[in-house]
Amino acid sequence: MATEEEQLQYFVQKVDKAEKDIERLQSELSALSNPKQLIEEGMASPELEKLRSENQKLQYQRNLLNKYLSEEEKRVRNCALDIRGIIEDVFASAIYAAFPELPNPVVLVVPSAKFADYQCNSAMSISQQRSAVTGTKSNPREVAQLILDHLPETKFFEKVEIAGPGFINIWLDKDFVSSEVTFLLTHGVTPPNVQKKRVVIDFSSPNIAKEMHVGHLRSTIIGESLSRLLEWVGHDVLRINHLGDWGTQFGMLIAHLVDKFPNLLEERPPITDLQAFYKESKVRFDEDEAFKRRAYDCVVKLQAFDPFHYKAWRIIYDISMEVNNEVYKRLEVTLKDRGESFYQERMVKLVKELKEQGITEMDEHGRTVMFVPGFNVPLMITKSDGGFTYDTSDMACIKQRLQEENADWLVYVVGNEQNIHLETVYEAARRLGWADKAKHRIQHVGFGSVLGEDKKKFKSRSGDTVRLRELLDEGIRRVEARLQETERDKDLSPEELEKVKESVAYGCIKYADLSHNRTHDYIFSYDKMLDDRGNTAAYLLYANTRIRSIARSAQVTPEQLSAAAKTMNVDLEHPAEYKLAKCILRYAEVIVRALDDLFLHSVCDYLYELTTTFTEFYDKCYCIEKDKTTGAILKVNMSRLLLCEATALVIAKCFHILGIKALDRM
């Protein structure tokens, strides 16, 4: 098999040749004195057309080869190959060359589980498009054949074949796969090459003085994983906790705090249950007119940063954040707290600016509103008393992220129900010239509600919102009970037991969330998430400990493994070996796609598939042969151990992204 250098050389030569050919054709083209006239006169037309289309094809070929060249360079630069992306490119080049008359031919390549490794499904739509654009009737099989006729020669495929009504089945080249596995073993699980961006991701973002609810839990889990994903591929990521810490409710909370704990500055008020405190003050606010007036007065003073009121606010903030931080710590989530209060001065300035620009109007209730084209409901810039709203803070916030943070990618991990609000803010930012569609990527990563097993909104037994602390405690309790049931607790040391409980409980809660399509509602069920037989973290954790124990039980050291990776080829003769190798390599394309749509369930699906594919391999292929009676090791299959190792490395990377902590024993 060709060395990396030889392959690179091969591409360089091909690009050189394509460039020379293009030059020659272009000079021939221009030598035809007046092509347009010649065509009109019907003279040189066929020759010219031929040159033209040949030129076009060569251009595609050159672009493609240049891309391969950079793919090869990436290897030198330590990047994984997005194999599906490469196949898509190869087929795109063939399709463009075969159908230069079609403006945007469909290029569709998908992994194929049953018949081949990948499948190009473009022929059906192209044949329709072709008859619509040019009137040429051709059946999809003919179209598929034309695609194949234009397929450039590459080292990636063993064969390509037309099947059924016009599918093109694609089989990867085994040597290529084997060398990529070696690349992974010698370079580690490297991220695919992506253009680096400055990303601000807004997630978790609970409201102060109210208990974080399961919706915030979803945002926290999804946001943390997305941040890890983005960081891993090299983006510069700022994780922001956009706390609801500045609304009118703080007036009522401060007024109540002052009444209950008059010496609050000397002695920290012993509030343990902020939720109850919130409820008490709300009752007073609703029932007592005088209290209500004082509450309003407190808001005004707070928003003017009056020292006493600011201190009182800070007390409530700190008590609330202590509870939240405990949840973050347990789930290993990191965030920079930057709530709505951060934007106070910016909001003052912004409102002034917007009014001066004349893009706001006063509605019939005396509120300042701003209509955004395409949206029926305007943004409320100020209330009738001049106070700011959720809309005001989000406008100041998006401006800050674009102009002060210089972000080129904004991600908001917020429930589906806030979609219109966010889209209105995004569009307003574009209309105001802060954001540019071509330069800035702004994305609402929405998610559905968490439901109880009765398919109704997830509530605690008393009907209250579920406290996250209690939810995590319950997870730990259930894992504990299971460990006792199976008597696993007897084999593990107390420290190991602690680790197992946390890793399984939190891993399962996170994974249950991440493995569902985030846009759908999902049913919270401890029984389902802790089941170790399905697509759950419990199953994956268990399977992973098994994989990691294989090398141990073969008594092969990590040094021996890495030496083997450098010196021997990974043998892929057995179908189960080959299947596993191809599955291992798919991680890069899964990541590339997740970066595009920010859906993490595809990463979970992949991880599950990798684990089950591994199990299939392990059942069929002996890695270690032991003497049945003495248990002595007779033979170790090093190449297979390398496959185990590669699997373990990819699983570890996925675990990291999904926030699951691997265990040595469980």
Q: Torsions phi, psi of 46, nearest 5?
A: -60, -40
- The burial class, CB within 10 Å (0-12 / 13-18 / 19+), for 42 is exposed
Of the candidate residues 93, 129, 178, 205, the single one contacting ligand ARG (CB under 6 A): 205
Q: At closest approach, how far in Å is the CB of 604 from ligand ARG?
A: 24
Q: Are 285 and 291 in contact (CB under 8 A)?
A: yes
- Among 19-27, 198-206, 329-337, 610-618, which window interacts with ligand ARG (CB under 6 A)? 198-206
Of the two residues 81 and 319, which places its CB atom closer to ligand ARG in the complex? 319
**C-alpha to C-alpha distance for 383 and 621, rounded to whole angstroms:** 70
- DSSP-H helix ranges across 522-600: 526-530, 537-553, 558-567, 575-585, 587-597
Q: At closest approach, how far in Å is the CB of 407 from ligand ARG?
A: 13
245 binds ligand ARG (CB under 6 A): no
The token pair that represents 367 in the structure block: 């509120």
Of the two residues 425 and 512, which places its CB atom closer to ligand ARG in the complex? 425
Q: At closest approach, how far in Å is the CB of 473 from ligand ARG?
A: 23
Q: What is the 3-state secondary structure (H, E, C) of 24-59?
A: HHHHHHHHCCCHHHHHHCCCCHHHHHHHHHHHHHHH
Q: At closest approach, how far in Å is the CB of 346 from ligand ARG?
A: 14
Instruction: Give the rounded distance of the alpha carbon of 375 from its chain centre.
Output: 28
- The CA-CA-CA angle for residues 200, 206, 212, to 5°, reads 140
Of the two residues 94 and 395, which places its CB atom closer to ligand ARG in the complex? 395
The token pair that represents 57 in the structure block: 């094809």
465 binds ligand ARG (CB under 6 A): no
- Among 45-53, 199-207, 325-333, 617-625, which window interacts with ligand ARG (CB under 6 A)? 199-207
Q: Are 201 and 227 in contact (CB under 8 A)?
A: yes
- Which residues on adjacent β-strands are paired with residue 207? 244
Of the candidate residues 75, 130, 239, 242, the single one contacting ligand ARG (CB under 6 A): 242
Of the two residues 394 and 589, which places its CB atom closer to ligand ARG in the complex? 394
Of the candidate residues 202, 224, 391, 577, the single one contacting ligand ARG (CB under 6 A): 202
Q: At closest approach, how far in Å is the CB of 165 from ligand ARG?
A: 47
Angle, in degrees to the nearest 10, between helices 307-331 and 274-287: 140
Q: Which of 241, 417, 224 is nearest to 320 (CA)?
A: 241
- Which residues on adjacent β-strands are paired with residue 625? 635
- What residues contact residue 470 under an 8 Å CB cut-off, 6+ apart? 460
Of the two residues 111 and 206, which places its CB atom closer to ligand ARG in the complex? 206
Residues 408-427 that bind ligand ARG (CB under 6 A): 412, 414
Q: At closest approach, how far in Å is the CB of 220 from ligand ARG?
A: 11
- What residues contact residue 21 under an 8 Å CB cut-off, 6+ apart? 58
- The burial class, CB within 10 Å (0-12 / 13-18 / 19+), for 609 is middle
Of the two residues 296 and 390, which places its CB atom closer to ligand ARG in the complex? 390
Of the two residues 166 and 251, which places its CB atom closer to ligand ARG in the complex? 251
Q: Torsions phi, psi of 641, nearest 5?
A: -60, -35
**C-alpha to C-alpha distance for 344 and 326, rounded to whole angstroms:** 27
DSSP-derived letter for residue 490 is G
Total residues in contact with ligand ARG, by rule CB under 6 A: 10
Q: At closest approach, how far in Å is the CB of 450 from ligand ARG?
A: 14
Q: At closest approach, how far in Å is the CB of 381 from ligand ARG?
A: 15
Q: What is the DSSP string of 375-425?
A: -SSPEEEE-TTS---HHHHHHHHHHIIIIIS--SEEEEE--GGGHHHHHHH
- Among 201-209, 248-256, 354-362, 457-465, which window interacts with ligand ARG (CB under 6 A)? 201-209
Q: At closest approach, how far in Å is the CB of 394 from ligand ARG?
A: 5
539 binds ligand ARG (CB under 6 A): no
Q: At closest approach, how far in Å is the CB of 398 from ligand ARG?
A: 8
**C-alpha to C-alpha distance for 564 and 185, rounded to whole angstroms:** 10
Amino acid 226 reads L
- Among 174-182, 204-212, 471-479, 548-556, which window interacts with ligand ARG (CB under 6 A)? 204-212
Of the two residues 98 and 351, which places its CB atom closer to ligand ARG in the complex? 351
Q: At closest approach, how far in Å is the CB of 97 from ligand ARG?
A: 47
Of the two residues 218 and 478, which places its CB atom closer to ligand ARG in the complex? 218
Amino acid 426 reads Y
Of the two residues 82 and 394, which places its CB atom closer to ligand ARG in the complex? 394
Of the two residues 308 and 390, which places its CB atom closer to ligand ARG in the complex? 390
- The CA-CA-CA angle for residues 344, 324, 271, to 5°, reads 90
Residues 377-406 that bind ligand ARG (CB under 6 A): 394, 397
- What residues contact residue 349 under an 8 Å CB cut-off, 6+ apart? none
Q: Are 563 and 645 in contact (CB under 8 A)?
A: no
Q: Which of 511, 519, 509, 535 is nearest to 598 (CA)?
A: 519
75 binds ligand ARG (CB under 6 A): no
513 binds ligand ARG (CB under 6 A): no
Of the two residues 217 and 414, which places its CB atom closer to ligand ARG in the complex? 414
244 binds ligand ARG (CB under 6 A): yes
The token pair that represents 21 in the structure block: 């050919």
- What residues contact residue 630 under an 8 Å CB cut-off, 6+ apart? none
Of the two residues 368 and 400, which places its CB atom closer to ligand ARG in the complex? 400
211 binds ligand ARG (CB under 6 A): no
**C-alpha to C-alpha distance for 607 and 650, rounded to whole angstroms:** 9
Of the two residues 299 and 537, which places its CB atom closer to ligand ARG in the complex? 299
444 binds ligand ARG (CB under 6 A): no
Sign of the Cα torsion 499, 606, 639, 179 reads negative
Q: At closest approach, how far in Å is the CB of 442 from ligand ARG?
A: 12
Q: Are 529 and 509 in contact (CB under 8 A)?
A: yes
Residues 107-136 that bind ligand ARG (CB under 6 A): none
Q: At closest approach, how far in Å is the CB of 529 from ligand ARG?
A: 24
Strands 109-111 and 118-120: antiparallel
- Which residues on adjacent β-strands are paired with residue 102? none
Q: Torsions phi, psi of 469, nearest 5?
A: -55, -45
Q: At closest approach, how far in Å is the CB of 207 from ligand ARG?
A: 5
Of the two residues 210 and 656, which places its CB atom closer to ligand ARG in the complex? 210
207 binds ligand ARG (CB under 6 A): yes
Q: At closest approach, how far in Å is the CB of 449 from ligand ARG?
A: 13
Of the two residues 206 and 475, which places its CB atom closer to ligand ARG in the complex? 206
Binding stretches for ligand ARG (CB under 6 A): 202, 205-207, 242, 244, 394, 397, 412, 414
